[in-house]
């Protein structure tokens, strides 16, 4: 099983300000590419009047989840962004990297009328990802370790939560399954018991190993636990409708991909060679993508497999790039990847603004063939993603471009 490092949630404060909705008929710059043809967005919404202001260069290159964008349905788009605020410390929330309270302003945009449908503010406890798309016009909202289903009117339905500090959450392509990884805080529990007189030996309580990690695999509608696991360390495991993927390193730069059903025995899917640790993505509920490279890091590719191990397609990747986020249309027809281009080969230094060129590309591909359908260059850079979204039918791409959201058609 591949073991992934914990992604830190870091703190930052941003300023707010900004401007009005612009008519879709206004001339717009041709910044998107389909093959060699330049195309224009079919709609542009300035989001300044809702309190959004593009960040400076420093936060753009850090791993803070500063913005989120989701299609709730073909008509409504959720846009959330960080706003400055004085926050009261939440002593009841134990996040993995310390509490980082901040506020988000969330607005639902009506794309037919180019107007705001509703706007509200959320108090959050860290800078990790906090929303995920669900079906039927709803989305999942995370506050600390607590999860709620939320509709387009911001009506919340609490559903579940972790029993300790949340570490990682991963949604299946169809929005029906959720992996929730968390760390049990035994020191906190045992000290509480000691304070209540249930444990008299404080040395025994303090000696208990505090690093116990758990993984819950959840079905979201209706809510049910599909599987549970105890982990030595946090692990990234792509989630599918009927199970999840695991990866194991083999000798001579080979890697084995296994599929573990929620019910049934683990089975080998495929084995391939890669000089670097491959990165896996769920593509559909029956297929996945593996990013691989040769031993010199000079030949990188993404290749798609089905759960029987058949290679569906393969495409080359720009070696000098960082790919922080992937999004999949609800109908699983297309997917989009955010790519930042580095100025050199090797691992990026996220604290150095010179490591990445000014700009970020959002590339849309066919899930069935791997063909690139659309590429949009956008600024500012959001290293944690959240600045683009695919419509449920996969026929439009929404991109945050400076102080505006632009909508591009996707032609297949």
Convert the pLDDT of each residue in 232-261 to its tens digit: 888 889 999 999 999 999 999 999 999 999
Which comes out higher in pLDDT, residue 73 or 342? 73
- Give the tens place of pLDDT for each residue, 137-180: 999 999 888 899 999 999 999 988 767 777 888 999 989 999 99
* Band (8; pLDDT cuts 50, 70, 90): very low
List Cβ neighbours of 304 (8 Å cut-off, separation of 6 or more).
283, 287, 288, 289, 311, 312, 313, 314, 367, 370
Mean per-residue pLDDT of the chain: 80
The larger pLDDT score, comparing residue 370 to residue 182, is at 370
Structure confidence at residue 213 (pLDDT): 86
Tell me the percentage of the chain whose pLDDT exceeds 70.
72
**CA atoms within a 13 Å half-sphere pointing along the CA-CB vector of 189:** 13
Of the segments 11-15, 94-98, 178-182, 238-242, which one has the largest average pLDDT value?
238-242
pLDDT, residue 106, reads: 97
Strand order in the sheet with 156-161: 131-133, 139-143, 146-150, 156-161
Whose CA is closest to 44, among 289, 380, 400, 324? 400
Class for the domain spanning 32-409: mainly beta
pLDDT in tens, 349-380: 444 444 555 568 999 999 999 999 999 998 88
């Amino acid at each position: 099983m591949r073991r992934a490092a914990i992604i830190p949630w870091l703190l930052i404060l941003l300023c707010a300000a900004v401007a009005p909705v612009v008519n879709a008929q206004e001339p717009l710059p041709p910044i998107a590419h389909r093959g060699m043809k330049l195309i224009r967005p079919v709609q542009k919404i300035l989001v300044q009047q809702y309190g959004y202001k593009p960040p400076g260069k420093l936060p753009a290159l850090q791993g803070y989840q500063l913005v989120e964008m989701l299609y709730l349905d073909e008509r409504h788009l959720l846009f959330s962004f960080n706003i400055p605020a004085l926050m009261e410390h939440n002593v009841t929330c134990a996040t993995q990297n310390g509490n980082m309270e901040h506020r988000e302003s969330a607005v639902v945009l009506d794309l037919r009328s180019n107007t705001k449908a509703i706007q509200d503010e959320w108090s959050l406890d860290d800078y990790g990802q906090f929303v995920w798309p669900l079906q039927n016009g709803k989305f999942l909202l995370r506050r600390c370790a607590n999860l709620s289903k939320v509709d387009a009117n911001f009506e919340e339905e609490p559903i579940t939560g972790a029993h300790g500090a949340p570490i990682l959450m991963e949604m299946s392509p169809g929005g029906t399954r959720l992996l929730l990884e968390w760390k049990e805080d035994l020191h906190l529990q045992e000290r509480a018991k000691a304070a209540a007189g249930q444990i008299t030996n404080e040395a025994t309580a303090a000696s208990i190993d505090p690093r116990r990690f758990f993984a819950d695999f959840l079905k979201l509608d209706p809510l049910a636990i599909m599987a549970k696991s105890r982990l030595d360390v946090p692990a990234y495991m792509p989630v599918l409708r009927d199970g999840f993927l695991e990866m194991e390193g083999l000798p001579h730069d080979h890697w084995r991909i296994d599929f573990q059903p929620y019910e049934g025995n683990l089975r080998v899917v495929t084995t391939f060679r890669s000089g670097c640790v491959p990165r896996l993505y769920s593509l559909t509920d029956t297929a996945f993508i593996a990013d691989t490279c040769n031993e010199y890091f000079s030949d990188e590719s993404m290749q798609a497999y089905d759960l029987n191990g058949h290679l569906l397609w393969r495409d080359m990747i720009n070696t000098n790039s960082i790919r922080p986020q992937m999004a999949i249309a609800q109908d699983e027809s297309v997917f989009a990847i955010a790519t930042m281009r580095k100025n050199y080969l090797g691992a990026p230094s996220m604290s150095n603004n010179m490591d990445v060129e000014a700009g970020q590309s959002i590339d849309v591909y066919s899930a069935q063939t791997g063909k690139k359908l659309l590429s949009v260059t956008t600024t500012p850079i959001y290293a944690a993603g959240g600045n683009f979204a695919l419509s449920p039918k996969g026929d439009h791409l929404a991109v945050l471009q400076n102080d505006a959201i632009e909508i591009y058609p996707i032609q297949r």
